[in-house]
């Protein structure tokens, strides 16, 4: 039995369907991210789990029990919002203690749990500080401590790091994952940040227009996208139209000057999807010309024009000479590094 189960969940506002036939089983202790662009239904799904919105259809079960009949305050869930939603007139300790006081936890136990929660998020000694005297990162930690101190069955995170600058966000991602692993708290994160989802998650649910496009591990969704949307949304990718030549044995998969053995059972035109970092410069391959070369510290980014259209290539900065703008090159990649889908590239 799944620990948290969403069964054919649907949410409509009038004639508009915002979440459509959403089904997901989350294991105990698992970290799952809902990833997608604005308006794809990920926050609406989270709000239905939290109880802030009622499903139009479908069921939400926690350990086999129907959550839809349980009021939000009694679901035992911890929630961290994008805005942190701290009480400005309360100290850090008072903010963290709020949920415990609502649950009538004894004063002595409350004080000890608040102290431990603040220490866990690296804020020991900040108990008496007010939010206005704290940085964005510190406020985020207080919000996280407040959500965790009640020992929730599920932790819900709604874009909790989006207000932080890039360097602080990266550091908080590492800390958040470490805390989650230490506590073993089942966690559901809503984010539009692909790197954040891949850094934190055991599995990613990629969403588009209210529906699930793909569910898988970060590596699976990145390496083997199930649709053109996933391929384009989850990082950079190259799509090349390819044909299959069955007049030869074995049959060949052909994209311009690049060719490789065709997988068994593949028919008709197909699209090759290949990540930029999996493409190399070679003596034989897809003919292309370097249009732009950009140095980005640990790697080079090349924008190319190939026989099959625009192409992006990323090569690690290993100190070796790189092709210059205007150079004619050949692009090559291993068959194991590409994914194929029926139909030509858009």
- Quickly state the pLDDT bin for 344 (edges 50, 70, 90): low
Greater pLDDT, 319 or 5: 5
DSSP-derived pairing of the beta strands 338-342 and 328-332: unpaired
> What are the beta bridge partners of residue 19?
11
The pLDDT of residue 63 is above 70: yes
Supply the pTM of this predicted model: 0.84
If one counts every other C-beta atom within 10 angstroms of the C-beta of residue 205, the result is 25
- Mapped onto helix, strand or coil, the DSSP state of residue 156 is strand
Q: Which spans in 57-165 are helix H?
A: 92-102, 107-120, 136-148
Q: What is the pLDDT confidence band of residue 157, given thresholds at 50, 70 and 90?
A: very high
Helix, strand, coil in percent for the chain, rounding step 5 = 30, 35, 35
Res 222 pLDDT > 60 = yes
Q: Tokens 């790197």 correspond to what residue?
A: 195
Delineate the domains of the chain, giving CATH numbers in brackets.
4-232 (3.40.50.300), 237-342 (no CATH)
Q: Which of 89-103, 223-237, 291-305 has the lowest mean pLDDT?
A: 223-237
Question: What are the CA-CA distances from residue 62 to residues 10, 106, 180, 317, 322 (Å)?
Answer: 17, 27, 19, 48, 55
- List beta partners, residue 154: 77, 186
Specify whether the CB–CB gap between 253 and 262 falls below 8 A. yes
Express each pLDDT in 195-218 by its tens digit: 899 999 999 999 999 999 999 999
Q: What is the mean pLDDT of residues 113-140?
A: 90
Of the pLDDT bands very low, low, confident and very high (cuts 50, 70, 90), residue 224 is confident
Query: Average model confidence (pLDDT) for the chain?
Result: 91
pLDDT (0 to 100) of residue 55: 96
Grade residue 345 by pLDDT with cuts at 50, 70 and 90. Answer: low
Separation of alpha carbons 323 and 240, rounded Å: 22
Upper half-sphere CA count for residue 127 (Cβ side, 13 Å): 12
Phi, psi of 198 (to 5 degrees): -70, -30
Take residue 105 and report the two structure tokens written for it: 């936890």
């Amino acid at each position: 039995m799944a620990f948290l189960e969403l069964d054919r969940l649907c949410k409509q506002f009038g004639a508009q369907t915002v979440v459509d036939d959403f089904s997901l089983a989350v294991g105990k202790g698992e970290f799952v991210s809902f990833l997608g662009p604005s308006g794809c239904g990920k926050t609406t799904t989270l709000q239905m789990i939290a109880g802030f919105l009622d499903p139009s259809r479908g069921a939400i079960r926690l350990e086999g029990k129907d959550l839809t009949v349980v009021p939000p305050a009694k679901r035992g869930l911890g929630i961290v919002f994008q805005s942190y939603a701290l009480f400005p007139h309360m100290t850090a300790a008072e903010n963290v203690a709020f949920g415990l006081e609502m649950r009538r936890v004894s004063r002595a136990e409350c004080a000890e749990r608040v102290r431990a929660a603040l220490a866990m998020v690296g804020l020991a000694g900040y108990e008496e500080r007010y939010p206005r005297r704290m940085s964005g990162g510190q406020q985020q930690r207080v919000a996280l401590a407040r959500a965790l101190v009640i020992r929730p069955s599920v932790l819900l995170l709604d874009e909790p790091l989006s207000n932080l600058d890039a360097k602080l966000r990266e550091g908080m991602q590492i800390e958040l994952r470490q805390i989650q692993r230490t506590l073993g708290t089942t966690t559901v994160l809503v984010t539009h940040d692909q790197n954040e989802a891949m850094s934190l998650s055991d599995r990613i649910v990629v969403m588009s227009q209210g529906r699930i496009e793909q569910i898988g591990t970060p590596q699976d969704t990145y390496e083997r996208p199930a649709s053109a949307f996933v391929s384009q949304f989850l990082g950079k990718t190259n799509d090349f139209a390819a044909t299959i030549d069955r007049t030869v044995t074995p049959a060949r998969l052909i994209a311009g000057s690049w060719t490789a053995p065709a997988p068994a059972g593949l028919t008709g035109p197909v699209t090759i999807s290949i990540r930029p970092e999996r493409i190399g410069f070679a003596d034989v391959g897809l003919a292309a010309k370097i249009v732009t070369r950009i140095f980005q510290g640990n790697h080079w980014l090349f924008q190319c024009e190939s026989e099959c259209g625009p192409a992006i290539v990323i090569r690690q900065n290993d100190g070796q000479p790189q092709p210059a703008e205007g150079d004619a090159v050949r692009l090559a990649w291993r068959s194991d590094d590409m994914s194929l889908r029926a139909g030509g590239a858009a």
